[in-house]
Amino acid sequence: MNAAVPPLMILVTALISGCATNKITGRSQAMIVSDESAARQSAQAYTQLIGESAQKRALDDDAYQLGRVQSITKPLIQQAIKVRPDVQNWPWEVHLLKSSEVNAWCMAGGKMAVYTGLLQKIQPTDDELAAIMGHEISHALLSHQAEKLSRAQMQRAGLTAGVLAGALFGVNLGSIASIADSVATVGLQLPNSREAESEADNVGIELAARAGFNPEAAVTLWEKMIRLGGGGAPEWLSTHPNPETRIAAMKVKSRQLMPIYEAVNQGKPIPDMNTLRGQPTAAETPPAPAPNAPIPVAPPV
Ligand SMILES: [Zn+2]
């Protein structure tokens, strides 16, 4: 069989069916890996990670912090379901992982983790932790993991013939051995585009405000992240570029959302503010990648 056929087939598939309109933001996304597929594979990766963490006694070893994380994510999930009703069926789950890394994430399908390093080094308030998890949940709501997997697959298909054979999602991750690790690495550690980060910022801060958390915490959170970054950029910050620009955007957005936050906490009806839709401004749009640009791969966790 001609080795060039599989990548060609993927490119053709991408051209025929690869574009989808995001139901939340209205943005056109290149999607050849479905949300369902990303969620299914993520669940497998999550089960393996949780099992390994338990064996290493690195799972949920702080009952107070675990309870705190669970009580903060619960109302965020309730708001996420209002934004995208089909995620009610996701097997939502959150665990605390013992690690010095400053990190938190939400996989496609709603599997989440908060690293103890984030809690220790950032010392987030409840509102700031809600800003983090609102942002991470929004990446999942907005199908960013499936989008990254799709982009990786298309890039690889366009670059090299034959490398797809036998490689999950068409991505050769070298030292990454297991399927589960590959999914976790590609889905979580490939950087999101600036456009996707901007989307997750906007949707995340609104989820938090509607769940009763102060949206201004997104600003103080980023200020803490920058201060910490001076002593060696933490993982979460290094995959989320341009913090100063984002702080300025969060200040504007948090002011817009204060009426919602105040209404929630006063038990009043929540103002109907459809602030989720809309394309990023030209200044926020990243330049198109060079045709032969390699797929950036961050070191595995
Ligand atoms: Zn992000």
57-75 pLDDT tens trace: 999 999 999 999 999 999 9
Q: How far is the CA of 192 from the centre of ligand 1 (A)?
A: 7
Domain for residue 148, yes or no?
A: no
Domain for residue 297, yes or no?
A: no
Q: How far is the CA of 5 from the centre of ligand 1 (A)?
A: 35
Q: Where is average pLDDT lowest: 44-53, 89-98, 290-299? A: 290-299
Share of the chain above pLDDT 70, in %: 67
Full residue range of the structural domain in which residue 83 is found: 35-143+162-269
Q: How far is the CA of 4 from the centre of ligand 1 (A)?
A: 35
Nearest one of 43, 6, 39, 301 to 176, comparing CA atoms: 301
Confidence label for 277 from pLDDT (cuts 50, 70 and 90): low
Domain for residue 16, yes or no?
A: no
The DSSP bridge pattern shows strands 28-30 and 19-21 to be: antiparallel
As a whole number of angstroms, the longest Cα–Cα distance in the chain is 67
Partnered with residue 30 across adjacent β-strands are 19
Q: How far is the CA of 52 from the centre of ligand 1 (A)?
A: 25
Whats the size of the chain, residue-wise?
301
d(CA 137, CA 221): 16
Residues 71/130, Cβ–Cβ less than 8 Å: no
Q: How many domains does the chain have?
A: 1
Residues 153/33, Cβ–Cβ less than 8 Å: yes
pLDDT at 187: 53
Res. 49: pLDDT tops 80: yes
Reported pTM: 0.77
d(CA 184, CA 69): 21
Residues 96/116, Cβ–Cβ less than 8 Å: yes
d(CA 32, CA 243): 30
d(CA 197, CA 182): 22
Domain for residue 22, yes or no?
A: no
Q: What is the mean pLDDT of residues 240-264?
A: 88
